[in-house]
Amino acid sequence: MFPVMASTAENTVVRDVRLWTAPDHTRLVFDLTNTMNYKLFRLHNPERIVIDMDKVTLKSDLKKLPLPDPVIKEIRHGTSASKVMRLVIDVKEKVQPRSFLLKPMKGKPHRLVVDLMRPDKVKPNVKSSQPRNSKQDLIIAVDAGHGGEDPGASGPHNVREKNITLAVAKKLAKKINAYPGLKAVLIRKGDYFVSLKNRVLAARKMRADLMISIHADAIDVRSVKGASVYTLSERGATPDRAAKALAEKENASDEVGGVVSGQISDPLVNLILGDMLRRASLNSSQLMAEEVLNRLKNVGPIKYDQPKHARFYVLKAMEIPSVLVELDFISNPQREKKLTNSRHQQRLATALFDASVVFFRKMGRLKQAKSEYAQPPYRPMVSTINPTSSPNS
Ligand SMILES: [Zn+2]
C-alpha cells in the first residue's frame, strides 16, 4: 500500500475579487477556493499595501475593478518562484489596513477581506456629539438595509434588496431635507457594507430623533406579498415565529457582509439608560410604526396590519424611536418588479416621510407650517405651495 502522506497543501485559487468604496474606507474581498496563509504589510514612499498569499493562484481579472477609487490608485500582482502571490496595492494616502479571513457561509466561499481605513475620515465627529439646542432640526437617521458584500435578499429576477433599500432611502432623505425643521442623515450613501453595530452607533452619534431602517422581505413561497413594520421587542414580548425568523435573517447581515466574529458582542442593550426613557422610546416607536403602516396601506399590499415586534439588532439604540420597515416581498416576481419602479419607490418614500411628519407632530416636536393651519388634519405638503425654502436645499 502506498503510504499516505500529509498532503502538500493544494493551491488555493482566487476566483473573484470585489471592491466596495465607503466614505471612510475601501474594502477588497477575495473569493477563495480554500483557506490560505497570507502576510499583509505597508511600504512607504510611495504608500503601498502588500499582501503575500502563500500557494495562491489568481484567476480573476483585476482590471475589472472600478479603479482608481478614493483610496486605491491601482493593484498589481506577481508570483514568485516559491509560489507566493504578491499583490501590491498603490494607495493615494496613508491608510490603516485591517484584514481577516472568513469561512464559507450562506452561499459565500472562503474569503479574505481587506479594509483600507482612511485615518482622517475615521476620527469621531466631535461637533455632532455636542448638546443640541432647541432650534436645531429634528434628525432622522435613514438606514438603507444591507450593502456591499451583503446583498440582502434577492428576487426571482435577481433584483437585490440592497439596491432597493438604498433607492428608497435616498428618495426619503430628499423629501425630509426639503422640509423645514427636519434633517435626514443617510447611514449608508452607496453600495458598501456597514455593520449593524456601526449603524446603531451612527444613529447615536448624529443624535437622531428617529431612525427608519428600510428592508425588503423574501420567502420561498412566491405568492406572498406585502409590507410589514417592526419595532424592537424587549425580553418577554409575545413570541412570534415569523418575526423571530426574520430578525435572525436580518441580524445575520454582519456574518454575510464580513464582520470578524465577536465584534458585535458589544453590550449595547446593557447601556445605562433610564428605564422610563427606554419605555418612552419603545412606546413612541410603536406610534411611529402605526403611522407608517397606515400610510403604506395606501401604496401597496400589507402583510400584517399591526406593527410586529422582534429583536432586530439595528433597533437597539433604545433611546431613539426606531422602526424597521419591510417594504414588500422581493421574492414575489410582481412585487419585485414594482420595487424597482422609481415612481413606486417615490410613493413608498412619501409614505415614510408623511408618517415621520405626523409622528413628530403627535409627539409635540414639530409645529404645523403656517399655510397648513387652516386645514387640519395634516396633508402632505407640496414644495411648490411652500414659499419658505428649506435650509438644506
Ligand atoms: Zn433585509
Question: Of 139-148, 243-252, 260-269, 303-312, which range is least confident?
Answer: 260-269
Residue 39 has pLDDT above 90, yes or no: yes
What is the predicted pLDDT for the residue at 341? Answer: 98
What is the predicted pLDDT for the residue at 218? Answer: 94
Nearest in space to 231 (alpha carbons), one of 166, 305, 318, 340: 318
Cα 56 to Cα 15: distance, rounded to the nearest angstrom: 11
Tell me what the mean pLDDT of segment 316-331 comes to: 90
- All three cell numbers of 335, joined, read 412585487
Q: Which residues contact 206 (CB under 8 A, 6 or more apart)?
A: 128, 139, 141, 185
C-alpha 259 – ligand 1 centre gap (Å) = 17
| Cis status of the peptide bond prior to 68, with omega within 30 of 0 | yes
Residue 12 to residues 57, 59, 241, Cα–Cα distance (Å): 6, 10, 41
Cα 190 to Cα 25: distance, rounded to the nearest angstrom: 12
- Please tell me if the domain spanning 12-118 has the same topology as the one spanning 134-259+266-384: no
Residue 300 has pLDDT above 70, yes or no: yes
C-alpha 162 – ligand 1 centre gap (Å) = 8
Residue 261 three-state SS? coil
pLDDT in tens, 44-84: 999 999 999 999 999 999 999 999 999 999 999 998 888 89
C-alpha 270 – ligand 1 centre gap (Å) = 25
What does the DSSP 8-state code read for residue 345?
H
Identify the CATH number of the domain defined by range 134-259+266-384. 3.40.630.40
C-alpha 250 – ligand 1 centre gap (Å) = 5
What is the predicted pLDDT for the residue at 136? Answer: 85
Residue 222 has pLDDT above 80, yes or no: yes
Q: Which amino acid is at 11?
A: N
Tell me what the mean pLDDT of segment 292-320 comes to: 88
Segments making up each domain of the chain, as ranges:
12-118, 134-259+266-384
Whether the model pTM is above 0.85: no
What is the predicted pLDDT for the residue at 279? Answer: 65
- All three cell numbers of 66, joined, read 472600478
Q: Which amino acid is at 43?
A: L
What is the predicted pLDDT for the residue at 369? Answer: 60
Place of cell 453590550: 267
Q: Alpha carbon 144 to chain centroid distance?
A: 5
Cα 281 to Cα 275: distance, rounded to the nearest angstrom: 10
C-alpha 249 – ligand 1 centre gap (Å) = 8
Cα 322 to Cα 315: distance, rounded to the nearest angstrom: 6
Share of the chain above pLDDT 90, in %: 63
The gap between the terminal CA atoms of the chain, to the nearest Å, is: 80
Residue 129 has pLDDT above 50, yes or no: no
Cα 316 to Cα 237: distance, rounded to the nearest angstrom: 15
What does the DSSP 8-state code read for residue 50?
E
C-alpha 143 – ligand 1 centre gap (Å) = 11
Average pLDDT, the chain: 84
Q: Which residues contact 37 (CB under 8 A, 6 or more apart)?
A: 53, 54, 55
Residue 291 has pLDDT above 50, yes or no: yes
Tell me what the mean pLDDT of segment 106-134 comes to: 70
CATH fold for the domain made of 12-118? Immunoglobulin-like (2.60.40)
The model's confidence at residue 2, banded by pLDDT at 50, 70 and 90, is: very low
C-alpha 387 – ligand 1 centre gap (Å) = 38
